[in-house]
Amino acid sequence: MQDPLKIIQDYVRHPSISTDPEAKEGMVASRDYICNLLSSLGFKTEIAETPLHPLVLAEREGDSSWPHVLLYGHYDVQPADPLELWSSAPFEPEVRGNRVYGRGTADNKGPQIAMILGLARALEKHPDLPVRITVMIEGEEEIGSPSFPGFLEKYQDRLKQADLVILSDTCSPSIDQVTVTTALRGLMALEVTLHGPNVDLHSGLHGGPVMNPIRALAKLCASLHDEQGRVAVPGFYDTVIEPEAWEREQLAALPQDEGTYKQSLGVPAFTPPEGYNALESIRFAPTLEFNGITGGYQGEGSKTIIPSKASVKITCRLVANQDPKDIEAKVVQAIKERCPEGVRLECRVDAGAEAYCVIPPGKPNTPKDQPAVVAKAFTAMDNAVKDVFGKAPLYLREGGSVPIIAQIKTVLGLDSLMLGLFTPEDNLHAPDESFDLTLMQRGIETYEKVFTELGK
Amino acid sequence: MQDPLKIIQDYVRHPSISTDPEAKEGMVASRDYICNLLSSLGFKTEIAETPLHPLVLAEREGDSSWPHVLLYGHYDVQPADPLELWSSAPFEPEVRGNRVYGRGTADNKGPQIAMILGLARALEKHPDLPVRITVMIEGEEEIGSPSFPGFLEKYQDRLKQADLVILSDTCSPSIDQVTVTTALRGLMALEVTLHGPNVDLHSGLHGGPVMNPIRALAKLCASLHDEQGRVAVPGFYDTVIEPEAWEREQLAALPQDEGTYKQSLGVPAFTPPEGYNALESIRFAPTLEFNGITGGYQGEGSKTIIPSKASVKITCRLVANQDPKDIEAKVVQAIKERCPEGVRLECRVDAGAEAYCVIPPGKPNTPKDQPAVVAKAFTAMDNAVKDVFGKAPLYLREGGSVPIIAQIKTVLGLDSLMLGLFTPEDNLHAPDESFDLTLMQRGIETYEKVFTELGK
């Protein structure tokens, strides 16, 4: 078998920033790289065209009586800016200590390769393993997977035959305690621009009667949270389902200390919304975050202007049973009602994503009609993790979003088994993103066991 | 005499952006240009070094019994961005219609040249004119003139001999109705940065307990104005002196329509602070403006992060009798008290500027000890404007700031006679800045009469 580290490094070297129209070359190279790797491992590969970035499909066919597993990953990555905060070039992966650094090492190229190589190892040892596989590696995860629903519709006859989805694009607390993710937050995204005067104005000649768009935007943004840190939009929490007792217990078992966590982030205090402690708020509560704000003079020194406009990028993380369209309507309505006088409001809405929830076998509230292959896969994962890591996984809701998981549930009716193969130390979406090499090895071993067991 | 338009165009061609460390070449070229022009007009020139950008000094000596006038102007200009909004290149001055377009055409290179050429014409016709002149052209006006106080201290023995200052760096309502400015607003500038997590965080993995610096900044900014549009900082208005009755009358005589003004700016409504109408608020009220805000992702599309920091640039325009240091302390105190939990506050204060006020001769409240040369100069200006423009100037407080006017009053004890030679149509500090060529001609004629009269 090829060296997993070398494969990850070669994969990361292609800057596949899906949000950046100028990164087309890196997108194509990254896609070709994973396609060729899957071919070399014996899969029948195919490029599934989409309106934007194509998916890579890879197939291992077999008897219709065999379990059929979909594997998911994404070859696109987040932008790398601010570049000046990286210790080494984001697309020249470098090993320092027991980690490989680079944009995409942890999200999602590293974990994805661990999963694929674990499967490859199982197939190498058991060439006749009675398991059918369809690998789907998409190129739009970091921009909300706009083409994925269309892909699912187009390929649903083939994909619906499967029993479940397996993937690693979620987080574990540490390399010694992995989690199986039982829920993902959904997403709602919009950009608000307030337009004031038609050009930037001299603040001396015009300052007084003119509403400053930054002032108006600050007032608008400030109105979206209350004094208790909760989102101050009417009806925002109406459909939220609070966690079950066993979920709170699993979270309490997390080997995570709030003080250490706070220190690692470098923040002076945590300010979770009322009703949740700091750790609970990530996994059980929805949020409204400002991802970027801009307006007026951006250079050095001062410039005495009233800017002609100001804008803010907003995303909400949603929990299970919150409908992105419903939340979008409520947030936009609140923004319209609260827009200060003297400016003109422009509101651009991006594609949202549903939240998702699955209940593992053997829990008090496991659905009675859970398919046998799903139960077998979750049990195989539980056993494999116990073998490789020396302790059972924790079953936890996750704060992040993998938009396509809920779409797969809706369109194909399939649940997902998600093993967390990155950790909070990995700096996802931030400078100095990295992936732990021990976790890489353990991931490969775990997946080898899961796929071998599924074939029994 | 040389062609005034050609001189202005040649002067504007040098990009003298004092706030930009990379514009050094344009600063030097611009300074040399005005120095050479003054030499060619017969003045004895000299470069007055400062810690940053030197001043140009030009002298016409004479008998100590002659009136001695200081002329003031500045060779530096504002940054030209956003470049994409200019109809022609900001430093390639272009004549369209009856205007010359370019950065600095109106602020201050055009009006400055009109003043100098008016004087030159008077001296050309009356070579023995008994008037002493000291021209001071500085290079730091647009960054708050940090070196000017030091220059005044160093040269005060020479400069204190003068009787008054004459300059044109203020605004008139139109090319048919000019104003003599009786007051200038002061300035207080600061930049507030709120620091949150030590790197940008993934909003899914960390969103909930972490205070978003943009959210904190929005809340802080929103707290700085009340519902009546007034600055919500304790004591902010304590020392403000309301305008005299004749000042309100002069303002009411302005040929300016609020509706037309609003339309020209393209704003849907005016929102002046309670207690002032729209036009009054510019000239009689202090302000707190946000000049620029930044934080988080600035690119296209969305990026689901919690940014590590966010910052805002603030300037206050102050009216006569407000002390910049006192206001600075009050604003910083309010910001400190209101800084939300979960972020760390950094506050950088820039140099402020005093406000200024002079009362023309013949008003009910003119000081009894007003020097004869000051009264003579104001009267000469009144007559010259009546001759050239066909109507008397309006005597008005101005919304803008010329920081050095108050410093000259403090250090040298001299008042300033300010004739407005740009208009609201000139887009100062904004794209497509321009200068009206009729006003240029009238300015030259007016100044010729004023200097000729002063020599009588």
Residues of A in contact with B303 (CB under 8 A): 19, 78-79, 291-292, 313, 429
DSSP code at position B271: -
pTM of the model: 0.79
Pick the CATH number of A187-240+286-349 from 3.30.70.360, 3.10.105.10, 3.40.440.10, 1.10.1740.10: 3.30.70.360
Residues 6+ apart with CB under 8 A from B252: none
A185 touches B at CB < 8 Å: yes
Dihedral angle computed from the Cα positions of residues B8, B14, B19 and B22, in that order, rounded to the nearest 10 degrees: 180
Contacts of A402 in chain B (CB under 8 A): none
CA dihedral A243, A249, A254, A257 (to 10 degrees): 90
Residues of chain B positioned with their CB less than 8 A from the CB of A342: 267-271
ipTM for the complex?
0.79
Q: Cα distance from B342 to chain A (closest Cα, Å)?
A: 4
Q: What percent of chain A has pLDDT over 90?
A: 87
Find out whether A317 and B207 touch, Cβ atoms under 8 Å. yes
β partners of residue A136: A57, A72
In this prediction, residue B56 carries a pLDDT of 98
CB proximity A172 to B under 8 Å: no
Query: With an 8 Å Cβ cutoff, are B307 and A292 in contact?
Result: yes
Q: Render pLDDT for A221-241 as a digit per residue (tens, 0 to 9).
A: 999 999 999 999 999 999 998
Residue B83 sits at the vertex; the CA angle it makes with B313 and B222, to the nearest 5 degrees, is: 25
Å between A396 CA and nearest CA of chain B: 13
Contacts A303 to B, Cβ<8 Å: 19, 78-79, 291-292, 313, 429
Distance from CA of A179 to the nearest CA of B (A): 14
CB A112 within 8 A of CB A37: no
Mean pLDDT, range A88-103, rounded to an integer: 97
Q: At residue A351, does pLDDT exceed 80?
A: no
Q: Provide, as residue numbers in chain B, all residues whose Cβ is less than 8 Å from the Cβ of A204.
A: 185, 317, 398-401
Q: Are A249 and A293 in contact (CB under 8 A)?
A: no
What does the pLDDT average to over B368-392?
96
pLDDT in tens, B250-299: 999 987 789 999 999 999 999 999 999 999 999 999 999 999 999 999 99
Q: How high is the pLDDT of residue A1?
A: 59
Residue A348: pLDDT band with limits 50, 70, 90: very high
Average pLDDT over residues B436-441: 98
| CATH 3.30.70.360-classified regions of chain B | 187-240+286-349
**Chain B contacts in chain A segment 193-232 (CB below 8 A):** 196-212, 214-215, 217-223, 225
Residue A241 has a pLDDT of 83
Judge contact between A169 and A137, C-beta under 8 A.
no
The reply to whether residue A271 touches residue B210, judged by beta carbons under 8 angstroms, is yes
A163 min Cα distance to partner chain B (Å): 28
| pLDDT recorded at residue A235 | 98
Locate CATH 3.40.630.10 in chain B.
Answer: 4-184+355-454
> Which DSSP category does B319 fall into?
-
Q: For strand B287-296 and strand A434-436, is the pairing parallel, antiparallel, or unpaired?
A: unpaired
Query: Which chain A residue has the Cα nearest residue B142?
Result: A303
According to DSSP, the β-strands at B416-419 and B164-167 are: parallel
A427 preceded by a cis bond (ω within 30 of 0): no
What local confidence, expressed as pLDDT, does residue B415 receive?
A: 96
The arithmetic mean of pLDDT across residues A12-39, rounded, is 96
Distance CA(A184)–CA(A403), nearest Å, equals 8
Cβ atoms of A251 and A395 within 8 Å: the answer is: no
| B430 to A315: CB separation less than 8 angstroms, yes or no | no
Residues pairing with A17 in the sheet: A77
What is the rounded average pLDDT for all residues in chain A?
Answer: 95
Token pair of A306, please?
Answer: 């009233």
Mean pLDDT confidence for A123-131 = 97
Picking from A221, A223, A197, the residue whose alpha carbon sits closest to that of residue A296 is A197
Q: Quick one: pLDDT at residue A439?
A: 98
CATH architecture of B4-184+355-454: 3-Layer(aba) Sandwich (3.40)
**CA dist., res. A147 & res. A195, Å (int):** 32
Query: What pLDDT sits at residue B332?
Result: 98
| Average pLDDT of chain B to the nearest whole number | 95
Pairing mode, strands A55-60 and A416-419:
unpaired
CB within 8 Å of chain A, chain B residues 55-84:
78-79, 81-82
Residue A82 preceded by cis peptide, ω within 30: yes
Residues 293-332 of B with CB under 8 A from A: 293-307, 310, 312-313, 315, 317
Quick check: A302 and B266 CB within 8 A?
A: no
**B interface mutation test: which of A187, A198, A203 has the most B CBs within 10 A?**
A203
Does B425 lie at the interface with A, CB-CB under 8 angstroms? no
Separation in Å, CA of A156 to nearest CA in chain B: 29
Span between the terminal Cα atoms of chain B, in Å: 23
The residue among A21 and B444 whose pLDDT is bigger is B444
